[in-house]
Amino acid sequence: MWAYVASGKRLPVQWSAWLTHTRPDPPSIEELQADLARQQRVKLNAAILEAKDEAERANMKRLEAPSHHSETEAQSPSVSWNVPRDQRLEPPEPDQRPKAQTRDPWAEALKGSDEPRSWTPMARKR
């Protein structure tokens, strides 16, 4: 085992769990193969998501870049003079929604009683 670790390779998590007695049975070959297939799926899905994210960033940069057409509309105020003020398209205001309520664990802990409660530990199975 030490030669394996010293070579820079990592033991599968299933074997480490069994060797440290946190798992009752050693892993099977099928389980290890299924875990390798899962790792490959995760890497593939991560690459797909990264490609989508990169494409979205490129699209956002393209949309944010000022175009010649939008500059001419911004320079001619006569376009919006004929439209009533409440119907004009104006830039969106910053997000004015109330912030989501965050859970305060200290406030929840203070609500409870400070009285000690009984505790019965469970026997550990090996």
Q: What is the per-residue DSSP string for the chain?
A: -HHHHHTT----HHHHHHHTTSSSSPPPHHHHHHHHHHHHHHHHHHHHHHHHHHHHHHHHHHHHSPPHHHHHHHH-THHHHTS-GGGS--PPPP--SPPPPPP-HHHHHHHS--S-----PPPPP-
Tell if the pTM clears 0.95, that is, is over it.
Answer: no
Q: pLDDT digit string (tens) for 67-84?
A: 655 444 455 454 445 555
Least confident of 6-10, 12-16, 43-47, 82-86: 82-86
Task: Give the residue, 41 or 125, on which the prediction is more confident.
Answer: 41
